[in-house]
């Protein structure tokens, strides 16, 4: 039987060397290891030649991937993708997260090198990491065309994996007009239009983002693209606004201001669907830890933070949404994102689909 201190040092070592695991994953995606092996299993020498890499370095990287269960190796020395890699790490995988890995490998990874400064200063680190002022937050996030494209491809990867689940957590078919605010290149809006063909769906974002969306076909799929700044410009009238991973970018005062603007733009009986990181009630330890890391990431990248459901309910109630119901992620492949439906009156839609919703009585303002 192992002693507690032996368990402790093993866990400590896994934490201390976690950055090495990330770099093996990121580098393999950047070099094209998983995409190349999607065509056929290969020996290390053949793969090294195709990637234009040294045999020594390639073999060590592949063996590290085997240890991490990203690759398998048979008795003849052929390397192949595991099911996990084939599903999530190839460009054509059904739930591909490759673009998210490529984004994490660049901007967030460099920002995390300045975590100590962020903790001491209480603010994001774009200026220190990239020499970019963050007075205009999204001017910093979109500081170059290449960066903006990488950011939105990463978001598309997120909604490819979790979009359908959060959009079907509640029956949204009762809302004839739906607008996705901060909808990026339209990935979530397209999923919404496909799921609810009886509704008119639009996506609103900055003009530069929408130009990119049109270039990659983001205006298709029955989705109308609208250019605008949701803090300053007139908002379209809608029955439902989607706010997917938007409020976590901003401090409380900005969130309340935005929610009040949405309340004024909604038609009678309208609602807001928040999609944020809402952990399951009994989240596995790894998922609970990830949510804490995400909150630190918001410190490094934005002006906002991850919030508990009760905090979102207070923000919503202060803005005129007295009812809020939460559908948390559930199941082994649930991810970390849940949906909160907030209404201006008694809830109109039927019960949530697929997971029990937690009722939200009107909380005290605060």
Residue 333, burial from CB neighbour count under 10 angstroms (0-12, 13-18, 19+): exposed
Looking at the DSSP bridge assignments, the partners of residue 179 are: 202, 241
Question: What pLDDT digit, counting tens, does each position of 63-88 carry?
Answer: 999 999 999 999 999 999 999 999 99
Tell me the CATH number of domain 162-358, given options 3.40.50.11540, 3.40.50.150, 1.10.1040.10, 3.40.50.1820: 3.40.50.150
What is the number of other CB atoms lying within 10 angstroms of the CB of residue 345? 12
pLDDT at 353: 42
**322 Rama class: left (phi>0) / alpha (psi -120 to 50) / beta:** alpha
Angle in degrees, CA 184, 144, 182, rounded to 5:
15
Position with higher pLDDT, 24 vs 365: 24
Kindly tell me if the per-residue pLDDT of 249 is higher than 50. Answer: yes
Domain boundaries, the chain: 4-95, 162-358
Whole-number Å distance between alpha carbons of 118 and 128: 10
Looking at the DSSP bridge assignments, the partners of residue 2 are: none
Task: Indicate the average pLDDT of the chain.
Answer: 89
- Tell whether the torsion through CA atoms of 227, 233, 235 and 241 is positive or negative: positive
Which residue's entry shows tokens 């769906």?
A: 201
Angle in degrees, CA 270, 275, 278, rounded to 5:
125
Whole-number Å distance between alpha carbons of 211 and 219: 10
SS3 227: strand
The catalytic residue among 43, 117, 152, 248 is: 248
Whole-number Å distance between alpha carbons of 49 and 299: 42
pLDDT at 331: 63
Whole-number Å distance between alpha carbons of 187 and 235: 20
Q: Which CATH class is domain 4-95?
A: mainly alpha
Kindly tell me if the per-residue pLDDT of 61 is higher than 70. Answer: yes
Question: What pLDDT digit, counting tens, does each position of 273-305 carry?
Answer: 999 998 777 766 777 788 889 999 999 999 999
Question: What pLDDT digit, counting tens, does each position of 217-236 carry?
Answer: 555 678 999 999 999 999 99
Task: Confirm whether 248 is a catalytic residue.
Answer: yes
Kindly list the distances between the CA atom of residue 325 and the CA atoms of 137, 140, 236, 338, 364, in Å, as whole numbers in the listed order: 30, 34, 24, 11, 16
pLDDT category of residue 98 using cuts at 50, 70 and 90: very high
Least confident interval from 12-21, 124-133, 193-202, 206-215: 206-215
pLDDT category of residue 351 using cuts at 50, 70 and 90: very low
pLDDT category of residue 362 using cuts at 50, 70 and 90: very low
Kindly tell me if the per-residue pLDDT of 101 is higher than 60. Answer: yes
CA-CA-CA-CA dihedral for 185, 189, 194, 200, to nearest 10: -120
Question: What pLDDT digit, counting tens, does each position of 142-168 carry?
Answer: 999 899 999 999 999 999 989 999 999
Kindly tell me if the per-residue pLDDT of 354 is higher than 80. Answer: no
Kindly tell me if the per-residue pLDDT of 11 is higher than 90. Answer: no
SS3 281: coil
pLDDT at 221: 73
Q: Which two tokens stand for residue 327?
A: 């559908």
């Amino acid at each position: 039987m192992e002693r507690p201190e032996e368990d402790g040092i093993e866990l400590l070592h896994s934490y201390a060397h976690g950055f090495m695991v990330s770099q093996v994953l990121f580098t393999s995606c950047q070099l094209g290891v998983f995409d190349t092996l999607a065509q056929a299993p290969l020996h290390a020498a053949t793969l090294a030649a195709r990637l234009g890499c040294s045999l020594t370095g390639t073999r060590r990287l592949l063996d590290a991937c085997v240890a991490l269960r990203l690759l398998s190796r048979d008795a003849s020395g052929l390397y192949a993708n595991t099911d996990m890699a084939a599903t999530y790490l190839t460009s054509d995988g059904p739930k591909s997260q490759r673009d998210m890995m490529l984004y994490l490998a660049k901007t967030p990874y460099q920002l995390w090198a300045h975590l100590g400064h962020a903790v001491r200063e209480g603010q994001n680190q774009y200026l220190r990491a990239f020499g970019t002022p963050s007075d205009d937050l999204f001017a910093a996030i979109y500081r170059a065309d290449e960066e903006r494209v990488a950011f939105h491809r990463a978001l598309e990867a997120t909604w490819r994996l979790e979009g359908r689940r959060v959009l079907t957590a509640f029956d949204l078919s009762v809302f004839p007009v739906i607008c996705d605010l901060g909808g990026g290149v339209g990935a979530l809006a397209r999923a919404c239009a496909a799921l609810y063909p009886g509704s008119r769906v639009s996506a609103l974002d900055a003009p530069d983002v929408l130009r990119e969306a049109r270039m990659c076909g983001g205006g298709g799929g029955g989705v109308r693209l609208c250019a605008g700044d949701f803090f300053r410009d007139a908002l379209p009238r809608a029955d439902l606004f989607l706010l997917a991973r938007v409020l976590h970018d901003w401090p409380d005062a900005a969130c309340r201001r935005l929610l009040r603007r949405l309340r004024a733009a909604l038609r009678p009986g309208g609602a807001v669907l928040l999609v944020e990181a809402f952990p399951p009630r009994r989240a596995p330890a790894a998922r609970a830890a990830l949510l804490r890391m995400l909150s630190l990431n918001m410190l490094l990248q934005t002006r906002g933070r991850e919030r508990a459901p009760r905090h979102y309910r207070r923000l919503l109630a202060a803005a005129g949404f007295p009812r809020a119901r939460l559908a948390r992620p559930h199941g082994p492949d649930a991810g970390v994102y849940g949906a909160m439906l907030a209404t201006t009156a008694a809830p109109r839609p039927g019960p949530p689909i697929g997971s029990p919703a937690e009722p939200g009585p009107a909380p005290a303002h605060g």
